[in-house]
Amino acid sequence: MVRPRSHEAHRKVLLAALDLFGERGIDATSMDAIAQASGVSKATIYNHWADKEDLLMEVMVLVNGLDREREEIDTGDLQRDLVAVLSRKPPGEFDAARTRMTPSLIAYSAVHQEFGQAWRNRVLEPPRECLRAILRRGIDRGMLASDLDLDFAIALLLGPMLYNHIFHLKAGTQAQQDLGPKVAEAFCLAYSTGRASRFGSARASRGPEKR
């Protein structure tokens, strides 16, 4: 099936912008340059995107896989569901381009703070909402305590993932690939009601702690 011309033009602009942003930097890349590199007129580009930041946002959404439909995760196993969210990876086809783009994106976001905030919200909100749904379901099913602070729990789950990514990015090394399962396991060991009840039983059998 032949793709509609507008869809092909849209894709060409995204890929051309991605290459130029990574090669020249975001500030140094003009819409004229993107039009020339993509072979799509600037008028057509502005029919698809309001401005360069609008285009930049969609480029980053594409290369990070945020345009993919999120499937409902409910295996019945709390730890497995958490691992599924924490271990999600962006599309491998854009690994090299994403690596080139990231330093430029960080620099641009530091100067253009409104865009930076919008980008952080766009990146962090989908996994936050997935985790929130999983944790609420865990509470409803008695797997987690009813008074669990959801925001704090989400911070505990995502914090190590962000640290792992940012620390290795600054150090120029590869991030640890299997951190998601370890984070999910540590969280469940600490907060699942089954674990809590075992701690309670063990403590009761030992009697009161000495101080």
Report the CATH number at residue 52. 1.10.10.60
| Banded model confidence at residue 198, pLDDT cuts 50, 70, 90 | very low
- Average pLDDT, rounded, for the chain: 84
- Same domain for 99 and 54: no
Task: Classify residue 196 as exposed, middle or buried by CB count within 10 Å of its CB (0-12, 13-18, 19+).
Answer: middle
- Same domain for 76 and 9: no
- Same domain for 149 and 57: no
Number of structural domains the chain divides into: 2
Residue 97 scores a pLDDT above 50? yes
pLDDT for position 90:
84
pLDDT for position 99:
85
Q: Are 26 and 104 in contact (CB under 8 A)?
A: yes
- Same domain for 165 and 85: yes
Domain closes at, from 43, 63, 83:
63
- Same domain for 159 and 89: yes
- Same domain for 82 and 23: no
CATH (domain of 151): 1.10.357.10
Domain closes at, from 11, 31, 63:
63
Q: What is the reported pTM? A: 0.72
Q: Are 196 and 145 in contact (CB under 8 A)?
A: yes
Closest CA to 104 of 15, 17, 26, 16: 26
Tokens representing residue 186 in the block: 């540590």
Neighbours of 18 (CB within 10 A): 22
Residue 148 scores a pLDDT above 80? yes
Q: What is the mean pLDDT of residues 21-43?
A: 95
| Banded model confidence at residue 131, pLDDT cuts 50, 70, 90 | very high
Q: Which residues contact 117 (CB under 8 A, 6 or more apart)?
A: none
Q: What is the mean pLDDT of residues 150-169?
A: 84
pLDDT for position 171:
46
pLDDT for position 92:
87
Work out the end-to-end distance of the chain between its first and last CA atoms, rounded to an integer number of angstroms: 75
- Same domain for 177 and 158: yes
Neighbours of 76 (CB within 10 A): 9
- Same domain for 132 and 29: no
Q: What is the mean pLDDT of residues 84-110?
A: 88
- Same domain for 123 and 182: yes
pLDDT for position 88:
86
- Same domain for 59 and 72: no
- Same domain for 36 and 99: no
- Same domain for 130 and 165: yes
Residue range 160-197, pLDDT digits in tens: 988 876 765 544 444 456 789 999 999 999 999 874 43
| Banded model confidence at residue 5, pLDDT cuts 50, 70, 90 | low
Domain closes at, from 29, 47, 63:
63
Task: For 188-204, give the DSSP string.
Answer: HHHHBHHHHHHHHHHHH
Which residues constitute the domain of residue 44? Answer: 1-63
pLDDT for position 113:
94
